[in-house]
Structure 1
Amino acid sequence: MALLVVALLFVALLGACARSPAPVRFHADGSPRTLAEWGVLQSDGTRLRLAGGVLPYDLNTPLFSDYAHKLRTVWMPAGTAAQYRADDSFAFPVGTIISKTFYYPRAGGAAAANAVLKADATPDERIGDGLDLTRVRMIETRLLVRREGGWAALAYVWNDAQTEAVLSRAGASLPLQLVAQDGGGTDFTYQVPDQNQCAGCHASNNTTRAIAPIGAKARHLHRDYAYANGSAPQLQRWQQVGYLTGAPAAAATPRNADWRDGARASLDARARAYLDINCGHCHNARGPADTSGLLLDSSVVSTRQLGICKPPVAAGQGTGDHTFDIVPGQPAQSILVYRMRSLDPGAMMPELGRDLIHEEGVALVSEWIGAQNGRCDSET
């Protein structure tokens, strides 16, 4: 009898070990074939769980990606921390792994197999700090990995069973149908970026061309997050778990507006936050679009640099035959709105990351331009 009890205890211990989440595994070089080899996220096809020490986070205003929802996480090796910077991305230690999982709510009902729902994120998508995979369709997970030589970008595409994600160096095109609340559907192609496109977006310094995180800046992260054990200020939580040093008091930390929060933020603050995250990583004084003269990051105060009554540097189809980047009071005559509404690869902005028009974003920027006063010289 005693031997039977010991045997049963041994089997139970083995089962417990089998169920324990594997630790995060940082790869100092190479490109692991599967996401599971990093150990950051674990899926059994029903639940997506975060490994120990993996911290979820969100942004005040996120980048638009064809209405996809995103689960963002960060992990750092024990005993290391990011150094706070007021304006730029934090200085992350070697070994940092930042993940961003793109997913959609399932359309359900009689919708097509490739149908996903256009809807705001809701608490029922979550299980703890992970995801309820019975309610969502995962598309891809992108990693930014801080190695000795700098950041590396890797994209992993999830299989239909949502049990494994495989490295996709060349990117991928996934046909989907976006279903609105009224039942209407729009076919589109979700584009998983290739490695060059990942590097192109994250190389926000046109001189060094070094890859860096876009969202991991104080002004984007200074907000509360609904963790599994309750809501708390994100930057405070980062400090509590040892992931951030050198941060000032909350009152001295910059904060971008939530672009949707018209009750607590001004129209100007919301539009500037939207342009900052969607356009500012290229349209800044050091970015790939620096020669355009149009600067849209949050630090810009010059109305001319913001595009108000500024002619484009180079004429062409990107102007839509309009004369100025922004015409006060006239969004329909502004190049900025034209390019946001375009799906032409030679004119659309942003150039990558979307196959759909962000109607709500266009409406916000149009309202912002419409509220501006003034008149441009030679305005027609």
Structure 2
Amino acid sequence: MIRSLLACLCLGALLCACAQEAPPAPPSPAYLPDGRPETLSSWGQLAVGGGELVLGEAVTPYHLATSLFTDYAQKLRTVWIPADAGPAGYDPEGAFDFPVGTVITKTFYYPRAQGGFDHVALAGAGMAHYADRRLDLTQVRLIETRVLVHRETGWVALPYIWNDAQTEATLARAGGFIDLVLVSEAGDQALGYAVPNVNQCAGCHETDTMDGVGARPIGPRARHMNTDFEYFDGVANQIDHWSELGLLTGSPASDDAPRNVAWHGELPLTGEALDHAARAYLDINCSHCHSRTGPADTSGLYLEADEPVGPHLGVCKLPIAAGRGTGNHRYDIVPGSAEDSILTHRLASVQSDVMMPELGRALSHEEGVALIAAWIDAMSGGCG
């Protein structure tokens, strides 16, 4: 009788264990030299199972010192370079020179909130639910994953949208819209999250219209990457760690590399801390277009972190072909008066023909606008 009871208990425990799906083994990454795979799993960069998103073998996570704003979404960024492709070449200014075969992914997700599958929570800095190469899907909702692959013909950008079951993401060449409810202490807010189409992805990533290369990575630059990351085996500087892993060659020690500050919404700031945070924010959010080689080069407004303070940074600069975007203001930046500056007006707007950036958001980044407003208000001089 006792043996039979024990046998039943063991069998029950075994059945319960089987009912709980085990996390998947790390998949084997693949470089696909042509075509547009219909499923994200075809790339082997990520795998889903047992309530977790798992990184593929030798797929390395990373983040940026200050992140691009995308409607408060959190982001899991990864890079994978085939073992026989060789490392990426270091560049002190532009994106690292990744070899053919490199696959970069960026997965957008939100913390789940009470109220249903479409309810997501506003949160601070990303990676809050990521640990030990795994993302806890019981706590977050996956929205989209963007793949950037370096082929013989150049970089190709492909957007994938996750299904409601959170088991697979499928190619969305035409982009898409996902209706969400953003939940915060201020209340619930409807959010029409926009996934960019293939052409929009390529357009944003064409950061140099002069050299004919086309799309390329935006984030993996020395000044954005020169920050610490909490890897599963400890905290390390990303440039140093990539060099140790053989992912990057030719780089100096991180102490000698360019560095933007890490800003994740902290306010208020003053003095140098305010200036450095504002410049880093404009750099990552705006300078891929607003540079001397970017798509907005004819605007004369250049927002890279090292641009000297003056008219090209927007100070007392008249706009070029801004139309309704000026908000009836005269200058891009009026020192001492954010209220009279076109820059803050466009950052705060959600009107399609006014707002900047033009793509990637449906909401105004309240903390970002407050940062840039404080930075402008702290300037002295005025425009005469």
- TM normalised by structure 2 equals 0.90
Q: Distance in 1 between matches of 2:253 and 2:203?
A: 34
From 258, 263, 270, the equivalent of 2:262 is 258
Matched, 1:99 2:105: yes
5+ residue gaps, structure 2, are 1-22
What's the offset of the Cα at 1:126?
2.0
Greater Cα shift, 333-342 or 253-262 = 253-262
Name the structure 1 match of 2:177: 173
Pairing partner for 2:198 from 195, 198, 203: 195
Indicate the residue corresponding to 2:189 in structure 1. 186
Alignment partner for residue 333 of structure 1, among 312, 337, 340?
A: 340
What are the superposed Cα offsets for residues 220-270 of structure 1, whole Å, 9 maximum, x if unpaired? 000110111111111111111110000012221000011246599611110
Partner Cα distance (2:57, 2:140) in 1? 23
CA change 1:121–1:279 in 2 (3 A) is closer
For 1:41-80, what aligned pairs fall within 5 Å after superposition? 41-44=46-49, 46-79=51-84, 80=86
- Structure 1 equivalent of residue 91 of structure 2: 85
One-letter amino acid of the structure 2 residue matched with residue 245 of structure 1:
T
TM-score, normalization by structure 1:
0.91
Counterpart of 1:28? 33
Contact kept in structure 2, 1:105 and 1:135, CA below 8 Å:
yes
* Count of paired positions: 357
> Is 1:231 aligned to residue 238 of structure 2?
no
**Could you tell me how far 1:39 is from its partner in structure 2?**
0.3
What is the CA–CA distance in structure 2 between the aligned matches of 1:315 and 1:114, rounded to whole Å?
Answer: 36
Tell me, which stretches of 5 or more residues in structure 1 are unaligned? 1-17
How much has 1:349 moved relative to structure 2?
0.2
Does residue 316 (structure 1) correspond to residue 323 (structure 2)? The answer is yes
Which deviates further from its counterpart, 207-216 or 318-327? Answer: 207-216
Kept in 1: contact 2:51–2:136 (CA 8 A): yes
Give the fraction of aligned pairs with identical amino acids, expressed as a percent: 51
Q: Is the 8 A contact 1:49 1:130 kept in 2?
A: yes
Residue 15 (structure 1) aligns with: none
Counterparts of 2:270 and 2:240, CA distance in 1: 25
Rounded to whole Å, the distance in 1 between the matches of 2:46 and 2:322 is 46
The CA deviation string for residues 19-48 of structure 1, in whole angstroms up to 9 with x for no partner, is: 643311110010000000000000016000
Paired position in structure 2 for 1:9: none
SS in structure 2 at match of 1:30: coil
Deviation at 1:130, TM superposition (A): 2.0
**Structure-2 change in CA distance of 1:206 and 1:122 (3 Å):** closer
Match of 1:11 in 2: none
Q: CA RMSD in A?
A: 1.7
Distance change >3 Å, CA 113–CA 20, structure 1 → 2: closer
